[in-house]
Structure formats: structure tokens, C-alpha cells
Amino acid sequence: MEYLIHIAILISIYSILGISLDLVLGFTGLLSVTHAAFYGLGAYATAILLTGYGVNFFVAIVLGMVVSGIIALVFGLVLNRFRDDFYALASIGFNTIVFSIFLNWQELTRGPLGIPGIKRPELFGYAFTSNISFLILSLVCAALVYFVSRYVTTSSFGRVLLAIREDEEAISVFGYNTVFYKLAIFVMSAMMASIAGSLFATYITYIDPSSFSIHESIFILAMIIVGGLANHRGAILGAVFVILLPEILRFVGFPTDIAAQMRQLTYGVLLIVFMLYRPKGLVGKYEL
């Protein structure tokens, strides 16, 4: 039972990441490969505030969102100067910079040693020490992110985002400041990713830079491509798929000495086959 609860917590955390990235990529058409950076900023902000300053988790999660939002605002101003493939390459560069800071700023992040002893959240004296209580907390956070994202994308603001995806130059002719819309959704997405990072840090109770590398950004990207772009349900289905598939492959029965490599190989082949025959993902509206 504990194993299933663990899987459900991971799915809820990655659902937040998927929904938040889908706002940028799915609805706005901006190929951002830097989501792990904001995921990590939320995790490190929360870990440092909890272990170093004794700040309450719910205050730390808000402060983490503020930190991620400010950094996303600054970086977004630079990123908006690029288009298409150059946008993606610049975002990869930003993820690399943030990862390097996590790895080398040892006075703050402890570098490759990571930050251990992160406490579980507490609210009015109640500690979310059991996994079932933490699952409830993570599901509540995921639900809030889902409904906020749904509200944004079904509003007039969301319709402008879809118009930017289709033809940015055409929508700008009608007087819309497309830079503002792209920057606003990028900052919002980063703040949502920070929530996932805060949950991850307090659930695992330990973080290190390896969890927030460019590989993690690609993993999150693959998740929403599998689920389908511009569909919140697709982001959740993608999270379920990419989390459950490796776990299912554990029970296939590969020889012990090559089990790990065979699971990775099978996982990769299945993803390639999936994208060949379902280029729009499970319930997506667009191809990448």
C-alpha cells in the first residue's frame, strides 16, 4: 500500500509540472526546455528556508514561488528576444546555468552533497509525516494548479495565448502586446513548477542538484508530449504514463545483471513507437 501511495504522490507532483509546462508549450507554443530549473528553485528555496531558518512550509512555498517568479521574469525578458529553435536553445542554457549554481554554490546549496533533513510540512501543529497525509496535501496542490490553469486558459487571456501559438504576428497587428502575454504565462508557469519543487523537497526530505538537470527538463517535456499538448487532462495522463511505465517494467522479469539497462531500452522504444503512431499524444490538440 505504501508503494502505491508513493507512486500517487509522484504522479501528483509531476502532474503539477506537466500542467505548468503545458501553459507555455501547449497553449502558447513556446518550446521551453528549462522547467527543471524552476522546479529546483522551488525545492532549494523551501529546503534552505526550512533547514536554515525554521520557516513554516506554507510560508516557504510562497517565498519559493516569489523567487521563481522573479527569476522567470528576468530570464523571460531575455528569452523573449528569441524565436523557435533559438528559444529552446536559450532555455537549455538557462537550465544549465541554474544547475551549475546548485552544484557549485556550496555555501548555500551544499553542492553535490545536497541538503538533508528537510522537515515534512506542518499546519496548525499538524505534521504531514505520514505518506497518506502528504498524498492528500499534494493532491490538493495539484487540484489548485489544475483549476487555476483551467481558469486562465478558458479566459480571454487564454484565447490570446492560443492566438499567439497560431500566428504571433497576426495577433500583434490587432494591438495585443504579445511580449507581455508570453512573459506573464512564463512567470506563472515557473511559479507553479516551484510548488512541485517544494512538495518534492519535503516529501523526499533530501535534495541534490542531480534531480534538476537538463535530463529532468526533457523528462517533463516528454511527459506532456505523450499526454497531449494544450490539454490539462493530457498533462495528467502523461504524468501517469511516464511514472507508471518504468514501474511496470520492473515486473517484466529481465535478467538481473541487465535488468536496469533493458528497462531503459524498453522504455525508450515504447516512447518512440508511441510518438510515431500518436504524434498528438493521448488527448492533445496539437503536434509538437
Taking CA atoms, 175 is separated from 130, 167, 170, in Å, by 52, 14, 10
166 Cα distance to chain centroid: 24
In a domain, 264, yes or no: no
Which three cell numbers, joined as nine digits, stand for 129?
Answer: 509525516
Could you tell me if residue 178 is inside a domain? yes
**Does residue 82 form part of some domain?**
yes
Structural domain total, the chain: 1
Report the pLDDT value the prediction gives residue 25, as an integer from 0 to 100.
93
pLDDT band at 283 (very low <50, low <70, confident <90, very high): confident
| Residue 14 within a domain | yes
pLDDT band for 2, please (50, 70, 90 cuts). confident
pLDDT bucket at 248, cuts 50 / 70 / 90: confident
* Residues 30, 16, 125: CA angle, nearest 5 degrees: 145
What is the span of the domain harbouring residue 206? 2-213
Give the integer Cα–Cα distance in Å for 118 and 120: 7
Residue 44 located in a structural domain = yes
Lookup result for grid cell 519543487: 197
Residue 248 within a domain = no
Q: Is residue 114 part of a domain?
A: yes
| 231 found inside a domain | no
Q: Cα Rg for the chain, rounded, in angstroms?
A: 19
